[in-house]
Amino acid sequence: MAQPELARQQNTQLVLAELKAACATCNLRELCLPAGLSNEELDQIEAMVNICRKIRRGETLYRAGEVFDAVYAVRSGFFKSRVTYEDGRDQVTGFSMAGEILGMDGIGQGSHNCDAVALEDSEVCSIPYTRLEELSREIDGLQRHFHKLMSREIVRESGVMMLLGVMRAEERIAAFLLNLSQRLNARGYSPLEFHLRMTREEIGSYLGLKLETVSRAFSKFHKDGLIEVEQKFVRIRNIEGLKQIYAHHVN
């Protein structure tokens, strides 16, 4: 066998071995991969996933208009999704954390309709969509799991539309903090103490509020004993109080 070909095969085997080790030791494995699959099926899925890609803070994972060819499992870090209008204004459309999937916005039209920007140094695992479709037809559990992920994103987006449509400013901020708390808790992090990876301005853009309005709401929640705020660190002191503010809208 020619030396270049031998080297290529050895490199491929090394990459696959690294990937399998990465998936096997990832603490988010159960969130990204379906439960109840055979070892053979898990091997097929792990072989589909590309080696983790590092995205530095401020860098884009993909941009609006780029060809869609993969979805991305966030292994670590935090991202914002944004759209840029013709007049140059940016609108934040979502935030994604470790254990969540990015890139599904491109499935319908074959190209991304927003930018995904890292809010801190992050890592993602790239999953080629063509191969994902092929395996989904072979592995029922994978198809159900992916449909569940898509449904979760749809529900989240519809919840944001409700926030923007009818909630007062304080209700929007309370709902935002509660949602963030629930998502962190689901991933094994503290639901009551966390650092906000996004700025107040980015929160305002997401919730349809001015920066000053967001700052006033945080200050009021702090004064009322609902939260403690130290720059970007938030400690929820009275989660039931936040729920009451949100329930005021629901009821």
Q: Which CATH number fits domain 3-139: 3.10.450.50, 2.60.120.10, 3.40.50.1980, 2.160.10.10?
A: 2.60.120.10
- 8-17 tens-digit pLDDT: 544 434 433 4
Residue 37: the pLDDT is 60
What is the reported pTM? 0.80
Is residue 206 classed exposed, middle or buried when 0-12, 13-18 and 19+ CB atoms within 10 A define those classes?
Answer: buried
What is the CATH number assigned to the segment(s) 167-250? 1.10.10.10
72: nearest Cα among 127, 143, 18: 127
- 142-170 tens-digit pLDDT: 777 777 777 777 776 766 666 677 789 99
Residue environment code for 19-41, b if the CB has 16+ CB neighbours within 10 A, otherwise e = beebbeebebeebbbbeebeeeb
pLDDT at 217 over 80: yes
Of 246 and 93, the one with more pLDDT: 93
Q: Where in the chain is the domain with CATH 1.10.10.10?
A: 167-250
pLDDT at 21 over 50: no
pLDDT at 115 over 80: yes
Query: Which residues have CB under 8 Å from 178's CB, separation 6+?
Result: 239, 242, 243, 246
Q: Where in the chain is the domain with CATH 2.60.120.10?
A: 3-139
